[in-house]
Amino acid sequence: MARISINNVTKRFGTGDGQIIAVDDVSIDILDGEFVVFVGPSGSGKSTLLRTVAGLEQQSEGDVIIGDTIVNELGPRARDIAMVFQNYALYPNMTVEGNMSFGLKMSTDYSSEEIETRVRSTAEMMGIDNLLDNTPGEMSGGQQQRVALGRAIVRDPNVFLMDEPLSNLDAKLRAEMRTEINRLQNELDVTTLYVTHDQTEAMTMGDRLVILDQGELQQAGTPLECFYKPTNIFVAGFLGSPS
Ligand code: ADP
Ligand code: MG
């Protein structure tokens, strides 16, 4: 059974001659525990599609279903999701501990002891338990990104949404974090939607790719299927398939 269904979702911005169709009638079912990568060139509608799943953008047409719930009318907080974006948006004046516990304090009824235990064990899992008293300004980009991941994971979501979470990191750290994110995803078995414009990232990380161009779904399949059996010229060119 699908954990997330995106059914005929279209998103238009603006009106009249200036209208842009950012997402054009996209449908895809994402299975429980699957790691699906939305990949395509800049402006292909990846972020907009993810944002409709997150509830940050209201689609013009179509339905988004998470679990058993049609979430079209629900805001981000009411959806069973956690998000990590490119600019980590950590609270600059809070410690790591504060950053990680804030969401739990705001939107769950855990006791403060439970929150402390959860934050500590998540921090250990992410290798940031030595940083709990530090503020973001005192940490490297890689450490901040780990905190952002930890802050999302600590809420124990069923769905994880990530939009280019590694694009601010240097190449070495990016490669390391790819492995780390895949490891976490396996360990936590959390359904993940991951946006990137980077073919290598998509090919190495995804159970399945959703390849977009100009708002339209070009192909959905495993990395190997898409690479070796591209369904059109765009996909073949984009992935560099052998001809
Ligand atoms: P990607 O993430 O693949 O780079 P986006 O989803 O950000 O693509 O954008 C898809 C298209 O929608 C682009 O043409 C972009 O300019 C347009 N777009 C995205 N957000 C907005 C917005 N808030 N207002 C107007 N146009 C937008
Ligand atoms: Mg984007």
Using CB atoms within 10 Å of the CB of residue 163, give its burial: 0 to 12 exposed, 13 to 18 middle, 19+ buried: buried
Which amino acid is residue 239, in one-letter code? L
C-alpha gyration radius of the chain: 18
What would the pLDDT profile of 97-117 be if each residue is shown by its tens digit? 999 999 888 877 889 999 999
Note whether 82 and 155 are within 8 A (CB). Answer: yes
Which ligand has the minimum distance to the alpha carbon of residue 19?
1
pLDDT at 1: 63
Q: Where is average pLDDT lowest: 3-17, 150-164, 213-227?
A: 150-164
Q: For 160-187, what is each residue's pLDDT tens digit?
A: 999 998 887 888 888 888 998 998 888 8
Ligand 2 center to residue 65 CA distance, Å? 22
Instruction: Determine the distance separating the centroid of ligand 1 and the alpha carbon of 197, expressed in angstroms.
Output: 14
Tens-place pLDDT, residues 148-159: 989 988 988 899
* Residue-wise pLDDT tens digits, 29-74: 999 999 999 999 999 999 999 999 999 999 999 999 999 999 999 9
Whole-prediction pTM value?
0.93
Residue to probe by mutation, ligand 1, list 26, 42, 48, 56, most atoms within 8 Å of CB? 48
Please give the pLDDT value at position 89. Answer: 81
Ligand 1 centroid to Cα of residue 59, in Å, is 13
Kindly list the protein residues that place their beta carbon closer than 5 angstroms to ligand 2, a single-atom ion.
47
By mean pLDDT, which of 6-15, 47-56, 102-111, 189-198 is the weakest?
102-111
